[in-house]
Amino acid sequence: MKYLLMFSYLCEVYRKQPRARIFLNDQLLDEHSIEQNTSTWPKEPLNLQNKTFGERLNSRGKYVYDRCKKFEIDIPPDVGDMTIKIDIKNDDNNYTNGFMSRCTLVSLYQFYLIPLNKKFIDRTLKIFHKRFIKYYGYWRSNKQIVTDLSYHTKWVDRSSQKELSCDWTHMQGSSGSYVCDLKKKYGLLIPRDTSPAYLLNVGDESVCIVANDKY
């Protein structure tokens, strides 16, 4: 099945841009520099103030899609578990004689793995809307969300090997890796620690629809 891997960063560059290498298991997918970018969401355009909730969501989906780096990947059907790793090289700081006051900071802001399968998206959305309307309790945790990998990703510091949950508000000033482990479920790759019931939340719905419409 084909998937769209999408991600973006927040980065405050001190002197030198950090480098990122993307791995699917042990296979190198891409290597690139991370540019200065500290903006999160733009102010809502005035022409959306009187729009419907669905139109606002569509605008959000387009913004996320346009902001992210995108890679279309084709996963063979015999592939089971998989690990996506974003390896960050960031040694830009003013460390001198045991003191440091400045460094480059980076965080993984958005991180999606979206099946390029319109039937799957439509079926999942129908299930979600039915549960959301009748049983709001089905959405108990972000761990239920299947397409937004940021909820299932950990940061592993290269020097200390300390593991932290992925949180874009916690910017990292050192080298390390963002790691997300995936499993095969119902023929699809989803985060390994996803808990039932498997859902798309309202915001991710718009991202999935935009991605599938463009591919």
pLDDT tens track for 47-60: 555 565 556 556 76
Name every residue whose Cβ is closer than 8 Å to that of residue 15 and which is 6 or more positions away in sequence.
92, 104
Name every residue whose Cβ is closer than 8 Å to that of residue 141 and which is 6 or more positions away in sequence.
195
| pLDDT for the residue 196 | 59
Question: Which residues, given as ranges, of the chain have pLDDT below 70?
Answer: 40-58, 60, 124-145, 195-205, 215
**Neighbour tally for 32: CB within 10 Å:** 11
| pLDDT for the residue 109 | 92
From 186, 185, 12, 154, select the one nearest 83 (Cα to Cα).
154
Domains and CATH numbers, the chain: 2-214 (2.60.60.40)
Strand partners, 21: 31, 87
- Whether the Cβ atoms of residue 114 and residue 3 lie closer than 8 Å to each other: yes
> Cα 186 vs. chain centroid, distance in angstroms?
21
